[in-house]
Amino acid sequence: MSNRSLTTFSAALLSSAALVLGVVVTPAGADPTASEATTPENRTVLAEDFSGTALPAGFTAVEGSWQVKNGRLYGTSANSGQQSRITFGEHLTDFRIEVTARFESVNDSARWTAMGLDVPADGAVPWQIATMRSGTTATNGLEFAQRTTANTWNVTDTAAAPSAAGTGRDVRMAVEVHGAKARWYFNGTEAMRTTKLARSARGVEALVVNGATVSFDDLKVTELPAESHLRPAGSPLTVIAHRGASSAAPENTLVSDEIARRGGAEYIENDVQPSKDGVPYVLHDGTVDRTTDGIGLIRSLTSAQLDALDAGSWFAPVYKGTRIPTLAAQLEDLKSRGGAMLLEIKGAHTRDEVATIVKTIRDHGMTDRVFVQSFEVSALRYTYELAPELPLGLLRDALDADPVAIAKELHLSAYNPSDGGLSKRLGVVQDLHAAGVAVNVWTVDSAARWRALEAAGVDGIITNRPAELSGWNAAWLQRQNETPDAPAVSITSPAAAARLDRAQAPVAAVQATGADKVTLTLDGGPVTAGKPLGLAGLAAGEHTLRAEATGPGGTTTATSVFTVEASRTGLAHLILTSGAKDQVVAKLTGMLGRADYKQLAKWAERHAGRSGLSGDRAALIAAEASALAAA
Taking alpha carbons only, the member of 399, 396, 390 closest to residue 362 is 390
Q: In terms of C-beta density within 10 A (0-12 exposed, 13-18 middle, 19 or more buried), how is residue 90 classed?
A: middle
Cα-Cα-Cα-Cα torsion 392, 185, 222, 196, nearest 10 degrees, comes to 50
d(CA 297, CA 566): 95
Q: Could you tell me if 525 and 533 are in contact, meaning their C-beta atoms sit under 8 angstroms apart? A: no
Q: Could you tell me if 6 and 223 are in contact, meaning their C-beta atoms sit under 8 angstroms apart? A: no
φ/ψ (deg, to 5) at 91 = -75, 130
Q: Could you tell me if 603 and 585 are in contact, meaning their C-beta atoms sit under 8 angstroms apart? A: no
d(CA 379, CA 397): 17
In DSSP notation, 137-160 reads TSTTSEEEEEE-TTS-EEEEEEE-
Taking alpha carbons only, the member of 99, 86, 91 closest to residue 60 is 86
CB atoms within 10 A of CB 294: 17
- Tally of residues, the chain: 631
Residues with catalytic annotation? Answer: 242, 284
Single-letter amino acid, residue 260: A
Half-sphere exposure of 577 (CA within 13 A, CB side): 15
Q: Could you tell me if 61 and 181 are in contact, meaning their C-beta atoms sit under 8 angstroms apart? A: no
Is-cis flag, bond preceding 494, omega within 30?
yes
